[in-house]
Amino acid sequence: MVQTKVLIEGMACGMCEAHINAAVRRAFRIRKIHSSYRNGQAIIISDNRMDEEKLCEVIGSLGYPVLSIEETQMH
């Protein structure tokens, strides 16, 4: 499994988190996502590596610029 940490600019509330979570779930097959506007990030757990370009596109289309993406292989 892979943990993908996405730093996101512009989230201001729980609804921002919900919009990002829903959009990522629609666009990708993932196990889990947790977004935090306080931390300005989303943590995604998936079986395989994410398509980073598509991930930026999906989140960016909601009006939230992606600042960085960091993947960690989980054991």
CATH number at residue 21: 3.30.70.100
Q: CB–CB of 26/33 below 8 Å?
A: no
Number of structural domains (the chain) is: 1
Q: Given a cut of 80, is residue 75 above it in pLDDT?
A: no
> DSSP character for 58?
H
Q: CB–CB of 21/42 below 8 Å?
A: yes
Q: Given a cut of 90, is residue 50 above it in pLDDT?
A: yes
Kindly provide the residue ranges of all beta strands, DSSP E only, lying in 2-52, ordered along the sequence: 2-8, 32-36, 41-46
Q: Identify the pLDDT of residue 5.
A: 98
Q: CB–CB of 64/20 below 8 Å?
A: yes
Q: Identify the pLDDT of residue 73.
A: 96
- As a whole number of angstroms, the distance between CA 38 and CA 58 comes to 21
pLDDT digits (tens, 9 = 90+) for 1-49: 999 999 999 999 999 999 999 999 999 999 999 999 999 999 999 999 9
Residue with token string 């398509």: 51
Q: Identify the pLDDT of residue 43.
A: 98
Residue 40 sits in which domain range? 2-73
